[in-house]
A and B are shown apart, each in its own frame.
Chain A
Amino acid sequence: MSAGTFSPAPGRAPMRTIIGKQIRMELLLTARRGEAVVLAMGVPLLVLLGAGLFEVTNLPTDDRLGFVVPGVLALTVMSTAFTGQAITTGYERSYGVLKRLGASPLTRPGLLLAKTAAVLVQIVLQVLVLGAVGFAVGWRPHGDQLLPAIAVTVLAAAGYSGLALLLASVLKPETTTGAATLIYVLMLSVGGIMFAAPDLGTAGWFLLPLAAHAEALRDTLLYDTSVPFAIWLSLGTWAVVFLTAAARNFRWE
């Protein structure tokens, strides 16, 4: 070896490159984990086709797909932004991956941005696939309220992400996995996906963000009406509270 191979020449690559490469790695690793793919696509597809096409549950409307598909989309956003992200981040911390990344030119905002972007990319792909499958089996949504539908989805994803990163920061990874899975199952059953959510009035929207999100998607895509103010407030509160808490408590180690 010639002398000077290791002569110092430190420096940070352009932030856009760094974040881009990190997003790519996050997506690659998610695609590689079988249980993550099942959680992300298998469960929602099963619920969509099962509850959407067969009379397995009583629904408050005759348009089964019109009720179920928005619910499944909301469920998918939760499973990716909350359940998947909480579990992944919890284990990354316990493996020391976050610490290792913290000791690199990737900054903390850079990592959080990459994680958020990776989650958004996944959500877009999932929504496209689920929407296409729904459409293929007869789902016919209204398109006039698409913008508010997208906006509540982004708000919901932000709140879920915040809660996921918060849990992963304060709990042990095993506890995080348990809690995230429990919340997922709980939301799947009472969150208004396959059945109507328990009628808790406006309070229910603050307690069950999934039900609020699903309701907002039905209002826009099924009934072609605007999103109730209480839902905006609920999802907005979730997003602000949990993102702030996550940013305050985020730990590399």
Chain B
Amino acid sequence: MVGGDVAAAVELSDVVVSYGEKTAVGGVSLSMPRGRVLALLGHNGAGKTSLLQVCEGFRRPDAGSARVLGLDPVGDHDELMPRLGIMLQSGGVYPWAAAGEILRLFASFAANPLDTGMLMDRLGLRKVERTRFRRLSGGEQQRLSLAVALVGRPELVFLDEPTAGMDTEARHTTWQLIEELRADGVSVLLTTHLLDEAERLADDVVIMKSGKIAATGTPASLTAAAGIDLLEVRADPGLDLLTLPFPAKEASPGEYSITGALDTRALADVLGWFAATGAHVTAVSSRRRTLEDVYLSLTSDLVGASQ
């Protein structure tokens, strides 16, 4: 047996994917342990789907190597596929086939499939069981694709933008399902550009920008590394802020807001400055950066370029 249980879910080293002159993925290395949820976060065109294509064996990397469950996604395609659950970004289903027929077809490919009725109930597909795929709404098509990805009881699932086109209710159902997958020991690699999705679901977040990894870590560590970026201090009004070594303003008399990357030392300096002026500080509050702030600051020049 190649790739016993010790192999990582996904192991990429220096993966490069190019389309002609254009480099979609420019040297990405990452290791995804089993049993975790990893979110690839990035704008459209950041290289998320190209990376997923490599993991799914649809593309051989132009340089570098990929191992999935210890196997080569291209060379060991036939051995690997029954162990994976793959949700494509869109389509992938016969337009003339009914939702139930499609799910049962893919169930029949698996040795120990999930009960298709249970899966349809869980994903709210029961009422469209006899509806042909092309008549389903965008959200229903997405949920069917998710059901198809899960029906073979895979060890590792790849979900490309799993909640795209879903309404709020379906999105929450899907999130609960992904949390349940994780609880049951399924490894999940998903791409998203929704920060709340990544923050809620992911054990690990990989932020991609222009085909490279811009940052990686748990949602908590990513936001903690950035520290506090806003401090609000209530003190005597009319202090001269020019000597304070951080950008600051008096929003209203006696209400000061100080911005910047405020680590522990910086916080001590700020409060020390207030002490030095002899001001009476009556309230201090801080706001930590959210994943969204981190994401925007890391990817901002791409935003600038695309506008």
Q: Which residues of A contact B (CB under 8 A)?
A: 1, 3-13, 17-18, 21-22, 25, 28-29, 32-33, 92, 95-97, 99-100, 102-107, 252-253
Contact = CB atoms under 8 A, between A and B. Distances in A.
B108 A18 contact: yes
Contacts of A102: 58
Interface stretch (B94-102, B228-236, B246-254, B280-288): B94-102
A199 to B, nearest CB: 43
B294 to A, nearest CB: 31
Contacts, number: 119
Contact of A10 (B78, B94, B153, B183): B153
B104 to A, nearest CB: 8
A224 B181 CA distance: 67
A99 B77 CA distance: 13
B92 interface: yes
B216 to A, nearest CB: 25
B111 A12 contact: yes
Interface in B69-91: 77-78, 81-84, 86, 88, 90-91
Contact of B148 (A10, A11, A100, A253): A100
Most buried by B among A97, A104, A252: A104
Interface residues of B, number: 41
A9 B112 CA distance: 6
Contacts of B114: 5-6
Contacts of B77: 107
Given A3-B183, A7-B184, A99 B110 contact: no
A6 B153 contact: yes
A10 B154 contact: yes
B90 A96 contact: yes
A25 B106 CA distance: 11
14 contacts: A9-B153, A10-B152, A10-B154, A10-B155, A11-B82, A11-B112, A12-B81, A12-B109, A21-B109, A25-B101, A95-B95, A96-B93, A100-B93, A104-B152
Ordered nearest first, which 6 A-B pairs have the shortest CB separation? A11-B111, A100-B92, A96-B91, A103-B86, A96-B92, A12-B82
Contacts of B153: 6-10
Contacts of B148: 100
A73 to B, nearest CB: 28
A7 B184 CA distance: 5
Contacts of A99: 58, 88, 92
Contact of B105 (A25, A95, A96, A107): A25
B184 A5 contact: yes
